[in-house]
Amino acid sequence: MAGNLYLVATPIGNLEDITLRAINTLKEVDLIAAEDTRHTMKLLNHLKIKKTLISYYKETEKIKSDILIEKIINGKNIALVSDAGTPAISDPGEEIIKKAIENNINIIPIPGACAFVNALICSGFSTKEFIFIGFLSKNAKDKKKKLEELKNENKTLIFYESPHKIKSTLENILEILGNRKIVLARELTKIHEEFIRGRILDILEKEQELRGEFVIIVEGTEKKEEEKEFLNSLTLEEHYKYYLNKNLDKKEIIKKIAKDRNKNKNEIYQYFINK
């Protein structure tokens, strides 16, 4: 009988952020495929787990995934882990997952830490709709092209970036998306965890050095001027219906109407309860 492929999330800093199920899975599988075996060995030592490791990183994904799939078909249970967080999220994994599906192998997620989810929930920006971009291209032209595509997006935008490129990426975002409100989620779950909030320009001016690991969360763009004009041309009842059709609840609708009309939300609230 074929084995299973377990996708096991590991900590993104604080070693306590690992579930009991993840620990048990790592103990029970036959083999752990790890992005960096030395890095994962540290975690396993901390958890007092002795297990055979095989390296599985981006550059070897194609070949290694074939080898691992073969082993699973022959009955081995394999756990895939990355250096930090959830495998296959801006980390190796896609290749073996596709092949596992092609070969009818059970894929079992073992949930846990993921940097962007934790950055997003602390951002204070809309979590209803968001776009996870991950790493922008290293190629300057492609990077700018992607940012141009996102320019008018009103969903919250989420980027990963490596520590030494954080400043230049913020400058690129500033240049193309404008002086948006952002949150830099720094060193999540670690001793120096910090949320740096503000407009890009202020942060760039204030923060001399941006050290550590960061998730960049960018607030979506404000509504386009034409849309604002249109909404302001409606009666308050029509404006209300407009958002009702978008399945928003009363509280959210009042908040949005107040924002669109630059009014205090209590004023809008009063209008509707007096109706």
Q: Strand order in 53-55's β-sheet?
A: 53-55, 31-34, 78-81, 4-8, 106-110
Q: Give, as one character, the DSSP assignment of residue 138.
A: S
Q: By rule CB under 6 A, what string of x and - marks binding of each residue 156-175 to ligand SAM?
A: ----xxx-------------
Number of residues that bind ligand SAM (CB under 6 A): 23
Which of 111, 178 has the CB closer to ligand SAM?
111
Q: Which of 30, 36, 153, 187 binds ligand SAM (CB under 6 A)?
A: 187
Q: Which of 154, 189, 198, 242 binds ligand SAM (CB under 6 A)?
A: 189
Q: Give, as one character, the DSSP assignment of residue 164.
A: G
> Where is 180: in which H helix or E strand?
none
SS3 191: coil
Q: Does 19 bind ligand SAM (CB under 6 A)?
A: no
On whether the CB atoms of residues 167 and 210 are closer than 8 A, the answer is yes
The interface region with ligand SAM, picked from 61-69, 113-121, 198-206, 236-244 by CB under 6 A, is 113-121
Q: What tokens were used for 246?
A: 């978008």
**By beta-carbon distance, which residue lies closest to ligand SAM?**
85
Scanning residues 64 to 83, which ones bind ligand SAM (CB under 6 A)? 82
Spatial distance between the Cα atoms of 275 and 79, rounded to a whole number of angstroms: 60
Sequence-ordered list of residues with C-beta below 8 angstroms from that of 107, at least 6 positions apart, any chain: 4, 5, 7, 97, 100, 101
Supply the minimum distance, in Å, between the C-beta of residue 33 and ligand SAM: 14
The interface region with ligand SAM, picked from 48-56, 72-80, 112-120, 234-242 by CB under 6 A, is 112-120
Q: Does 153 bind ligand SAM (CB under 6 A)?
A: no
Between CA 146 and CA 153, with CA 151 as vertex, the angle to 5 degrees is 105
Q: Does 130 bind ligand SAM (CB under 6 A)?
A: no
The interface region with ligand SAM, picked from 36-44, 141-149, 185-193, 202-210 by CB under 6 A, is 185-193
Spatial distance between the Cα atoms of 105 and 109, rounded to a whole number of angstroms: 13
Q: Does 95 bind ligand SAM (CB under 6 A)?
A: no
Question: How many Cβ atoms are within 10 Å of 223's Cβ, its own excluded?
Answer: 15
Binding residues for ligand SAM, per CB under 6 A?
12-13, 82, 84-86, 89-91, 114-116, 160-162, 185, 187-190, 213-215
